[in-house]
Amino acid sequence: MNISWQMLKAWSFMPGFDLFDKKLIIEHARKNKKHVGRPNNHHHHKQFNHRYKQGQEMPKGFDYDATGLEPGDLAEALLDLQLQYNPNLLQDARIKGKVSGNDENGRPLEDNFPGITFPLLQTDEPIPSTHIPDKGSRATEYHPVFSAGHAHDEPSEHALLRLTSAMHSADGAKNRPHMPITHDPQMGSMSSSVHPIAPGEARSAFYSGDDISPDTDRKISQTARNKIAVANEAERSHFGDFMQPVDLARMKEQGLGSSIKEEDAQTRVNQSLAGQNFNPLTRVFSGKLRQEYQNYLAQQAKEQANKESMKTEVPMHVGNGMYLWQNNFYEGAGYPSLPPEAKALIQTGEPMDMAWRMLKSQLLIH
C-alpha cells in the first residue's frame, strides 16, 4: 500500500515522451552539459518552490534508475540535447526582442533575451501556488524556462543558456519574449518550433533492435521490443483516449512482432495498464481525462434510460384522444396517427386504462 501511495505522489513525463526520449534524457542528465550553464539558478528554484511540492518521486517504471535527479536536471539534459543537434537555437536565444506590457510602475518593459520553454513533467500531487500572480492555482505541469540572460540581475549576454524560471503552463515568462519549442511535432502548439533531441537513425535503431548508441554493443531482443511497444501504447492510452482500441500500426513501428494480432496486442496493453495501476480514475483525480470518462458514463446512462423508456409494449392513453407509444405522442391534433402495430396492442376498458396509468405513473410524472 505504501508503494502504491508513493506511485500516486510522483512526477511523470508529459504525454509525447516515448521510451527512447526518456531513456536518452535520463542518461544525458548524468553527463556534463556543453551548451547549458548551471550557475545562479536561484530564481528558478524560488519559482519552483512556490509552485511544486518538494521531494516528489521522479519518473519511474522504466528499465533505468532515476534516483538522485531533480526536474531541473531533466530540463537541462533535454535542452542540452536540443542545442547539440540544433545549433541555430542557441543563436536565436542570444538575440534580444521586444516585450509587450509594462512593469509595476507602468513603464514599458525593456527589450530582453527570449525565454525558451517546453513541456516536460506533470505531477500527481499539485499544491496551491504561493506565487502571488498564480492566485493559489494548483500547478500540475512543469515547463522550465531557459535564457541567455536575466533582466533582474544579469542583463548581459552569456555564452550558454541557463535555467531561469519554472512555469506551470506553456505561456512562458511575462518579462521576456516567448520562444516555445518541442522535440516532438505532436506536443507543441502552432507557434512551437521543433528541435529533435537525437538523429532519426538513433531512434530507428533503438526500436529496430540494432545498436542503441555508438558506445554500446547491446542488442534488443524481440521480446524486449514487444515490451517496449506495449509499455509505450499503455502510457499513450492512459494519458490519451484510453477508451479507444490500441493503435496496432504505431506499435508495429515501435518494434512489436509482426505476428502479433490486434486482439493479442490489446490484451497485453490491458495487462500492462492493470499491472502499473494506470487506472485513470485513481491516478488522475481531476482534469480532462477524468471529465471525459465521467461524460462518457453519463451518456451511457442516459442512452440506457432512453432504451428502457422505449420498451412500452402497449400505447398509453393520456387523454383527449392522445396516446404515448415508444416515447412519442400520436392521434391528437397536430400529431401523426398510431401505426397499425400500435393500434393492435391497445387495450380498452376503464379498469385496464386505470391500471395502466398506475403502472406508468412514474413516466407521467416525468
Of 269, 256, 360, 251, nearest in space to 316 by CA: 360
Domain ranges (residues) in the chain? 2-198, 202-278, 310-365
pLDDT, position 241: 58
* Angle at the Cα of 24 from the Cα atoms of 18 and 28, rounded to 5 degrees: 145
Q: CB count, 10 Å around CB of 247?
A: 18
pLDDT, position 234: 81
Residues 6+ apart with CB under 8 A from 286: none
For residues 356 and 345, give the distance between their C-alpha atoms in angstroms, rounded to a whole number.
13
pLDDT, position 311: 57
Listed as ranges, residues in the chain with pLDDT below 70 are 1-9, 38-40, 60-67, 149-159, 188-190, 208-220, 238-243, 274-291, 293, 306-313, 347-366
Strand partners, 150: 154
pLDDT, position 310: 55
pLDDT, position 143: 93
Kindly tell me the burial class for residue 324, based on how many C-beta atoms sit within 10 Å of its own C-beta (0-12, 13-18, 19 or more).
Answer: middle
For residue 346, give the DSSP letter. P
Residue 288 cell numbers, joined:
480532462
Residue 327 backbone zone (phi > 0: left; psi -120 to 50: alpha; other: beta): left
For residues 359 and 366, give the distance between their C-alpha atoms in angstroms, rounded to a whole number.
14
pLDDT, position 218: 43
Q: How far lies 326's CA from each of 276, 342, 350, 364, in Å?
A: 46, 9, 22, 14
The residue type found at 263 is: E
Q: Could you tell me how far CA 132 lies from the centroid of its own chain?
A: 27
pLDDT, position 118: 93
pLDDT, position 254: 78
Residue 76 cell numbers, joined:
537541462
For residues 78 and 58, give the distance between their C-alpha atoms in angstroms, rounded to a whole number.
15
